[in-house]
Structure 1
Amino acid sequence: MPIGIYRRSLVGKRFPGKKYLVAEFKGQGIDLMNEGAEHELANEAGGPISSRIIIRLDAAVESRAAFMDTVNRDVARLTKVKGADGVQLASTISGIIGTVLQKLIPIIDNFASTHPVLNLSWLALSAVYKAVQNQIAEEDIVRDLVEGLREMAGAASECPDLLVIDGTVDVIEEIGRTSLDIALLIHRYANPSIKGKSSIFARTAKYAFSDMSSQIANCKGRCADLTTKLSLRLQIETNYVVKNVQDGVEAVQVEVKEIRGGVKGIQDDQKKRDIDKWMSAPDSSSNYKTAREKHQEGTGSWLVNGSVFRGWKDNPGSVLWLHGGPGCGKTILCSSAIEDVKKSSKGKSSVGYAYFFFDGTSGQSKLAAHESLVRSIIMQFSDQFDGIPPALVNLFEDECNGRSQPLIGALENTLLQILQFFHTAYIIVDALDECSEGSKVLKWIHTIVSQTSDRLHLMVTSRPEPEIKDRLRRLYNLQEINIATQRESDDIHRYIDARLAEIDKWTDPQKKMVRDGLSGGAYGVFRWVSLQFDVLVASCASLAEIEHRLRSLPRDLDEAYAEIIKKSPRPAELVLFLQWIIFGQQDFTAQELAEVALINFDDSGGSLPFCDPSRRYGSSDTVLSTCYGLVVEVQVIIKISHFSVKEFFLSKVIQIGPTKSIRCTESTSHQAIAKTCIAYLLQFNELDSVTRANIDSFPLALYAAQQFAFHVESIRGEDVDATLEHLIQQLVLPIISCALINWHRLQNWHLPLERRIELWDVTPTLYSTIITPLAELVNHLINKGKYGITLHAASDRGGCLAIAQLLLEKGADVNATGGEYGTALQAATCQGLLEVVKLLLENGADVNAMVEHHGTALQAASSRGLFEIAQLLVEKGADANITGGKYGTALQAATCWGRLDIARMLLENGAYVNATGGQYGTALQAASYTGRLEIFLLLLQKGADVNATGGQYGTALQAASCWGALAFSQVLLDKGADVNITGGEYGTALHAASYGGETKIVRLLLERGAEVNAKGGKWGSALQAARATWKDSQAEAIVQLLKEYGALDIEPNFESDNTY
């Protein structure tokens, strides 16, 4: 850094003239920062002179604390910005320099006095921070330099002792010098005086004399060396501290090992099981396993041994995109990449990896959702922890310990926190194009790459679809591999040779012909080769047959799939199987799909589809042979063999016979499945058609019952045809059928299937659970413009009658007991079903059957005010005086609920007015307690005994007194009620009135001769009852009144808080 000292003459001040060099300093500018040091100067000829130079810089122009407050706010703001804006802000030079300053400020504050270079580095870095606000580092060389500075600053801030670092004399001085040099380089790079956004090459040209590129490289190397030394020192210190801690607690661990280990193990194990269940992360390892099984030795080596893949593995923050057309082997190559990462990561606890295979081959697949990807990756990295990641535990606890599910944003943040525990993390994702939420997963890729650039290596595969291509190419660190431009032909040759090696029936010339023929038509599509090889093996035994087949090979995958369907012996069933596999709401086994073939669709138009047992396959393996080439069996589940099968199926007209072809859509596929389900259910036309004992004989029964409504609702209005309408009508006509009842039972399969629906189940609730779903379906179809369909079920009442009639016809025991109501008669009565009651009585129902809670049917009708049913029961011989149940008698039940007309009818038909039993003892006590005045007077008119005892309150007078029925109490006393009868909860009427806080009734009873000191009841005496009253405002008045009548304190039966 040359510094010159010049002089100018007076004449030169007035007229511009030549400057004259007096002295020159040719050392490094940074050397001038040595406090108090004098530096030699030279003349123009280079010789020494006696003058010296001393330079002092004031580094306190602006308060460091104030400046750092601004930096901290800026950095905090950057961390809160989400999405694409956050990605851009996080890559600004100022954003990175801000974090560097945060790391270095403690070092500067501590050591600037002894290392002045730190003051200069502070000035330079803070000046750069101000100069480059929001400017993005567009060139990799500068971006890497800034990132290197951040890594070095981070390592320095964490180092326990900067004064003792092996391998360098003064690491603090080197930190300052390196930071200063980098700051100057960045300032040159971002110099606002350079017009526009010129590249690094333009800037290098401007500063050619200083060789800017080589200076950047030199600074990067110095940063890397410092980072290594600092990290090594940190590791040494950490190991030393850990060793001391371990030594210090070793003795304690020995003493508590058994207790501590046992508790912790149970705690951790249980929480881990809870979290695993709560996360319910889908497992795509079967896709990986399948891909590895298809992999042929030697194929894919060009990828994992290539420089691009190796560079991806070695460089954190890199993204690798492997793309190619359908069937070109992306998934197999992806599995090779996973295998390589697994091997290289083995035994390295600081290295983690996870993978996910998107799978869009079925409509309900969890492997097609973005959230499934995130959940799966979280759990895979968590399984590589020694215990449960704290971030995952926090998420679980934040969601009420698993009682609620987190938002996708919370899951993504948790993954980011988990990744921070790994020094290196690999994520490999296959088939982005099969994700049902492509935009979401592409946005997530940008976010996770930007926020984990110091450790994450991300690889994805997909077809080169426009949206994927556009979004991924916005990543600055993206590397691409186009499979079509690679040596895939070598892999195809290896694949064919491996397959040929397994064939014994062909000669070497025949094998060569097959090899040449398939290689020539493959165009890099492995799947096409595989399909054609299978056809050749199955159908060609001679050279002539091989030649003929090779001359007529399908041109592409679509033609290959069309040929498979056309040549199938069961093309219609094959199409139906594919519809079920793709759009079914669960995974199916071959055994379950074989049941689909039982449905005879009778394309001649002679009848509705029906279940035909004669169509049952001898072996469920027939499903696989029917669909050979289009499906695979993975762990007993039948899946579409490749995503391209689904695309072909939904995009082409399919020939399923010499004169018949169809175009399958999602809507028409749902209709085909719905028809199959209903036809399957209609075979259950007896009450005991399906039971717990035989349910395994109907593998599709539960699915058909529980999901056919979903498939109906998924049909577009214009696709609903008359066949589907008639099938639904057949299920519900007559109003109730055995098939409909069995559908209801299968919907509730968790209940015991062996239990028949009995007559006591005949309620509107049961009926509505059967009919309502169908009614909703009908309304759904009507809303779509299908007016022809009708549902012959006018009301709950009519429906229940139909169920009862059906069950009676099938031999149901009319007097069987059980269920909520005990008997069918009781159930029908409680629900107010008059016609059903009549039907049951006509068929021999016991009119006086007693049920524990409800009593008799007459009591139930009386309490509910069902006059017509009560009258009918009396006419059919119901005994009004039978006692039992909650209310004791029908008269007491009617009285409790104020059913005057029924009470009068019962009395007129022989009900005993003084019958005892039930909660209130007598009807009169019930009327007194509930305040039913008209019935109260009617009962007295009919001769009710005012002194009858029993029930909760002992007498009618005590019941009236307790709840403030003054008029009732006066009438009872006028009718001769004994004021001092004891019994019931409170002992006497005076005790009851005192506890109830009824001052007027207390006075009335005392005036009528109530014994003020009578003992008994809950409180022992009236005085104690008054003190325990819940009406505090009346307590003192009643106590004084009782004392006026001579009440004495008697040892109480309770502890009272009130004293007067």
Structure 2
Amino acid sequence: MADPLSIAAGIAGLLSLGLQTTDTLVKFYTSYRGRDDHIARTTQGLEVLQGAFQALQTALQQRKFQPGEKTLIRQIELSLQSCAELIQELEQECAKLTGISCDSFKQTVKVAGRRFAYPFRESTLKKLEEDAGETRDHLSLALDILQLRDHKTTQDELTEIKSLVELMRTTQISSAIQDWFKAPDALINHNAASAKRHPGTGMWFVKGPVFHNWINQANSFLWLYGFAGCGKSVLCSTAVQHAFRQRRDASIGVAFFYFTFNDESKQDQSAMLRALLWQLASQLPDGHSRLQRLHDSYKTGPPPVAVLSEQLRECIQRFHQVYILIDALDESPRGNRRDDVLKLITTVRGWSMLGLHLLVTSRDELEIHESLDAASDEKVAMKNDSIDQDIANFISETLSSDYKLRTKWQAHRDRIQEALAERAQGVFRWVECQFEALKRCPRSKHHLEQCLQSLPRSLDETYERMLLSIDEGSYEEARRILTLLCFSSRPLKVSEVLHGIAVDFGEQACLDRARLLQGVDDLREICPGLIDFGRELKERSQELLPIPADFATDLTRLEVTVRIAHFSVQEYLESDRIRQQKAKFFAMSSINAHQEIATICCTYLLEPQISNGLLTPTKLAEFPLAHFAAQFWYHHYQFGKEKPAQLSTLVTKIFKQQHNCFATWVQLHDPVDKPWDLSVNFERPSNKIAPALYYASFLGLDWIIHEILFAGNAAGRRVEDMVNAQGGTYGNALQAASSGGHEAVVRLLLDAGADVNAQGGHYGNALQAASSGGHE
């Protein structure tokens, strides 16, 4: 009995006949396409028709129709039936060529002339063009019907995301609490992972028994694990979507978090707890009051982990069922941060709440494996036949949808599909990289075969080739781009990267505008396949859980960000392996990279056009890296005990220019009195900013304090007056140093005459300031 949920056999046969016929016609006329323009035009039309047949056949083979799509099947069948007569006419034209070799036709042309050779008569060519064009229209209609339904499915998924966003964005939570709590924006990562998902990806998992049991069994736990690039984050995004579909009423909560290797705000247990707590609190009627009480108790910053953990437990208890999904545990850096995350996961599982369903993903690393201690029915390996099928579908879909690949390699699609699927070994990322190589491969069968027969065996070998393919004249720029993207404290905007590349470390370090690249295309050309681009809302501090780009009503609020294409790229650049290979020029170390970024930031802040005169929105727009530089130069500076002489000199210059560069830095971002405030205070006058000594004391920069005191004393100022000067939230330099726990600075200030009993500031005196920070 015929399957009611598939295309009728007669229609499928008609499609196969059309493809076979067109293949024959294309092969024949391709031999003569160079003889005149009319033959070339006809051949091109036939090639386009051939591509349409292939695309529709592939789409139908891969499509699994659902019970509610019988009308869709009928519409496709009617579109194909409409071109049955045209396909038969093409078959008849093809039959006239059957059995006659190309050589015999060439001889005919030589003897009788082209006008007497039937296949080349103008009437024949015109008829072929007409039939091909009309057939193409019918096939396009069938494809459009399929794509519209797929588009509707995609739109349904996007609508679900929008509903999820609106669920987690509650207008009753004040902006003051949002700025204070700093809940990481998990939706950015979710949208990025979802964007990589192709139709059908991961259905084997969310439609399978393991996920079904996780959804329905009490106190369930599931661990998805696999090696680099196997699609764990994409599968997690699919699971998030399907978990959200379980939210039939307000008694069911959903929360998720993506650990992120290139965003330090998403790498520790506090970040995870704040994101999960924010999302679940937003789904509760009294969520605002719960967060307000926390704010009242911990006004100076987010609550400690123990408090956040208890608040999360209480929130979960308010729901009948809660689904929590956490991606990429392995992207929390090794050491204390990862250890704390794993301990927290163990704690949450130990709550043994019947309504809690926890799903995590990671690589199968020993410490994670041992810590999770998952039972055999609580873990899923990302290496199976279903993953291989997902990759095969991904390859096929990309070859069809990517314009450059489709137009360049249409005639060799099957060969490429076979070669990539055979060598992928379950790694989506490896396949993505090979697509980049195919886009750059010269367009000939010979070059294609060379490319496919020499495919790299691993991601390491792939990345080595990609780095070595960079133009040697762009090596320095490429290395700077990769350094910025791998080690910056947060994802960077394209404009920030462009200005970061243009900073010159020469004898007179400066921003060299002659080095400025123009945009996205330049970055992509320098680092092909190694970087990726996305969109984020500009006002991230004011809208921590923004609506995805698809639903943003004001597109001017979206800006392009650039990031490393995959975690495995950074791992390779930092590995010992690259140092033994030809691409060793690009090898990186964390300490050197952070110090380089600190040097870029300090050089940028010292740029005269930024530091001199009033700080205005216009000036900030002209120097897009300034805000990042002000926020993060010190963070990057802290890495490594030994500082390069150039970096130390730059930092000294910032602190010595109290009314220029120093004041501009604090206007852009005040790291001491308002570290949580991400806005720029354009109106803050320099005489309302605490002395540079106060800031150096809070940050523990003892050598800067020596420089400031020496310079001040040389200018006739009393050292005791400088160290006891009042100003800032902490009142004076000694309280600032005490709050930060910088013992060496405290001793230095006391030796210089600081009054330990001086009253004032937020904590009253130095002893209270030290106690507030947990220091003796």
1:476, distance to aligned residue in structure 2 (A): 5.7
| 1:619 to 1:462, Cα distance in 2 relative to 1, 3 A | closer
1:465, distance to aligned residue in structure 2 (A): 0.8
1:1005-1028 deviation digits (Å, cap 9, x = unpaired): xxxxxxxxxxxxxxxxxxxxxxxx
Q: What residue number does 1:298 align with?
A: 200
Kindly report which structure 2 residues correspond to 1:939-954, keeping only aligned pairs within 5 A, or say none: none
1:428 and 2:325 matched: yes
Kindly report which structure 2 residues correspond to 1:78-89, keeping only aligned pairs within 5 A, or say none: none
| 1:302 to 1:540, Cα distance in 2 relative to 1, 3 A | farther
Structure 2 length as normaliser, TM-score? 0.58
Q: What residue number does 1:462 align with?
A: 362
> What's the secondary structure of 1:426's corresponding residue?
strand
> What is the alpha-carbon distance in structure 2 between the residues aligned to residue 525 and residue 596 of structure 1?
33
Kindly report which structure 2 residues correspond to 1:751-900, keeping only aligned pairs within 5 A, or say none: 768=693, 776=701, 778=703, 794-799=710-715
1:742 and 2:664 matched: no
Q: What residue number does 2:569 align with?
A: 645
Q: What residue number does 2:454 align with?
A: 552
Q: What residue number does 1:529 align with?
A: 431
| 1:709 to 1:510, Cα distance in 2 relative to 1, 3 A | same
1:371 and 2:287 matched: no
1:525, distance to aligned residue in structure 2 (A): 0.5
> What's the secondary structure of 1:400's corresponding residue?
helix
1:361 and 2:298 matched: no
1:294, distance to aligned residue in structure 2 (A): 0.9
1:445 and 2:342 matched: no
> What is the alpha-carbon distance in structure 2 between the residues aligned to residue 507 and residue 660 of structure 1?
33
Which residue of 324, 333, 350 corresponds with 2:235?
333
Alignment check: 8 A CA contact 1:505 1:541 kept: no
1:441, distance to aligned residue in structure 2 (A): 2.8
> What's the secondary structure of 2:660's corresponding residue?
helix
1:481, distance to aligned residue in structure 2 (A): 0.9
> What is the alpha-carbon distance in structure 2 between the residues aligned to residue 601 and residue 671 of structure 1?
12
Alignment check: 8 A CA contact 2:499 2:625 kept: yes
Which residue of 617, 623, 627 corresponds with 1:698?
623
Which residue of 299, 311, 314 corresponds with 1:414?
311
Unaligned runs of 5+ in 1: 1-267, 781-789, 802-819, 821-1060
Alignment check: 8 A CA contact 1:302 1:487 kept: yes
Kindly report which structure 2 residues correspond to 1:543-622, keeping only aligned pairs within 5 A, or say none: 543-569=445-471, 570-601=474-505, 607-619=507-519, 621-622=521-522
> What is the alpha-carbon distance in structure 1 between the residues aligned to residue 281 and residue 508 of structure 2?
54
| 1:398 to 1:378, Cα distance in 2 relative to 1, 3 A | closer
> What is the alpha-carbon distance in structure 2 between the residues aligned to residue 580 and residue 354 of structure 1?
31
> What's the secondary structure of 1:316's corresponding residue?
coil
1:774-828 deviation digits (Å, cap 9, x = unpaired): 9936469xxxxxxxxx959733143489xxxxxxxxxxxxxxxxxx9xxxxxxxx
Q: What residue number does 2:248 align with?
A: 347
> What is the alpha-carbon distance in structure 2 between the residues aligned to residue 714 and residue 335 of structure 1?
34
> What's the secondary structure of 1:694's corresponding residue?
helix
> What's the secondary structure of 1:460's corresponding residue?
strand
> What is the alpha-carbon distance in structure 1 between the residues aligned to residue 492 and residue 347 of structure 2?
37
Alignment check: 8 A CA contact 2:494 2:519 kept: no
1:282 and 2:198 matched: no
1:122-167 deviation digits (Å, cap 9, x = unpaired): xxxxxxxxxxxxxxxxxxxxxxxxxxxxxxxxxxxxxxxxxxxxxx
1:388 and 2:300 matched: no
Q: Which has the higher helix share?
A: 2
> What is the alpha-carbon distance in structure 2 between the residues aligned to residue 280 and residue 659 of structure 1?
39
> What is the alpha-carbon distance in structure 2 between the residues aligned to residue 774 and residue 423 of structure 1?
47
> What's the secondary structure of 2:407's corresponding residue?
coil
Q: What residue number does 1:630 align with?
A: 530
1:723, distance to aligned residue in structure 2 (A): 4.1
1:487 and 2:383 matched: no
- Structure with the larger RCO, 1 or 2 (CA within 8 Å, 6+ apart): 2
> What is the alpha-carbon distance in structure 2 between the residues aligned to residue 452 and residue 774 of structure 1?
43
1:716-736 deviation digits (Å, cap 9, x = unpaired): 32xx3444456567x48xx96
> What is the alpha-carbon distance in structure 1 between the residues aligned to residue 511 and residue 241 of structure 2?
48
> What is the alpha-carbon distance in structure 2 between the residues aligned to residue 652 and residue 509 of structure 1?
42
| 1:347 to 1:403, Cα distance in 2 relative to 1, 3 A | same
1:768, distance to aligned residue in structure 2 (A): 4.3
1:403 and 2:304 matched: no
Q: Percent identity of the aligned residues?
A: 28
> What is the alpha-carbon distance in structure 2 between the residues aligned to residue 633 and residue 791 of structure 1?
43
1:711, distance to aligned residue in structure 2 (A): 2.9
> What is the alpha-carbon distance in structure 1 between the residues aligned to residue 693 and residue 591 of structure 2?
29
Q: What residue number does 2:6 align with?
A: none
> What's the secondary structure of 1:353's corresponding residue?
strand
Kindly report which structure 2 residues correspond to 1:715-734, keeping only aligned pairs within 5 A, or say none: 715-717=640-642, 720-725=643-648, 731=653
> What's the secondary structure of 1:484's corresponding residue?
coil
Alignment check: 8 A CA contact 1:687 1:756 kept: no
More moved, 414-423 vs 687-696: 687-696
> What is the alpha-carbon distance in structure 2 between the residues aligned to residue 275 and residue 724 of structure 1?
37
1:77-97 deviation digits (Å, cap 9, x = unpaired): xxxxxxxxxxxxxxxxxxxxx
Q: What residue number does 2:633 align with?
A: 708
> What's the secondary structure of 1:382's corresponding residue?
helix
> What is the alpha-carbon distance in structure 2 between the residues aligned to residue 418 and residue 694 of structure 1?
45
Question: What is the RMSD of the two structures over their aligned residues, measured on CA atoms?
Answer: 3.7
**Structure 2: which amino acid aligns with 1:794?**
F
1:159-196 deviation digits (Å, cap 9, x = unpaired): xxxxxxxxxxxxxxxxxxxxxxxxxxxxxxxxxxxxxx
| 1:743 to 1:293, Cα distance in 2 relative to 1, 3 A | same
**Structure 1: which amino acid aligns with 2:483?**
Q
> What's the secondary structure of 1:297's corresponding residue?
coil
**Structure 2: which amino acid aligns with 1:576?**
R
1:226-279 deviation digits (Å, cap 9, x = unpaired): xxxxxxxxxxxxxxxxxxxxxxxxxxxxxxxxxxxxxxxxxx965666655543
> What is the alpha-carbon distance in structure 2 between the residues aligned to residue 382 and residue 521 of structure 1?
46
> What is the alpha-carbon distance in structure 2 between the residues aligned to residue 650 and residue 660 of structure 1?
10
> What is the alpha-carbon distance in structure 2 between the residues aligned to residue 672 and residue 415 of structure 1?
39
**Structure 1: which amino acid aligns with 2:343?**
K
> What's the secondary structure of 1:794's corresponding residue?
helix
| 1:768 to 1:398, Cα distance in 2 relative to 1, 3 A | closer
Q: Which has the larger radius of gyration?
A: 1
> What is the alpha-carbon distance in structure 1 between the residues aligned to residue 171 and residue 520 of structure 2?
41
**Structure 2: which amino acid aligns with 1:295?**
R
> What is the alpha-carbon distance in structure 2 between the residues aligned to residue 417 and residue 304 of structure 1?
29
> What is the alpha-carbon distance in structure 2 between the residues aligned to residue 741 and residue 796 of structure 1?
17
| 1:680 to 1:395, Cα distance in 2 relative to 1, 3 A | closer
1:756, distance to aligned residue in structure 2 (A): 8.9
More moved, 593-602 vs 655-664: 655-664
> What's the secondary structure of 1:579's corresponding residue?
helix
1:736-755 deviation digits (Å, cap 9, x = unpaired): 679x8324333334797699
> What is the alpha-carbon distance in structure 2 between the residues aligned to residue 765 and residue 426 of structure 1?
48
| 1:450 to 1:723, Cα distance in 2 relative to 1, 3 A | closer
Number of aligned residues: 505
| 1:612 to 1:793, Cα distance in 2 relative to 1, 3 A | farther
1:346-369 deviation digits (Å, cap 9, x = unpaired): 43333222211111224xx22212
1:434, distance to aligned residue in structure 2 (A): 1.3
Alignment check: 8 A CA contact 2:615 2:664 kept: no
1:312 and 2:214 matched: yes
| 1:724 to 1:444, Cα distance in 2 relative to 1, 3 A | closer
Alignment check: 8 A CA contact 2:258 2:326 kept: yes
Unaligned runs of 5+ in 2: 1-169, 536-559, 670-679, 718-725, 727-776
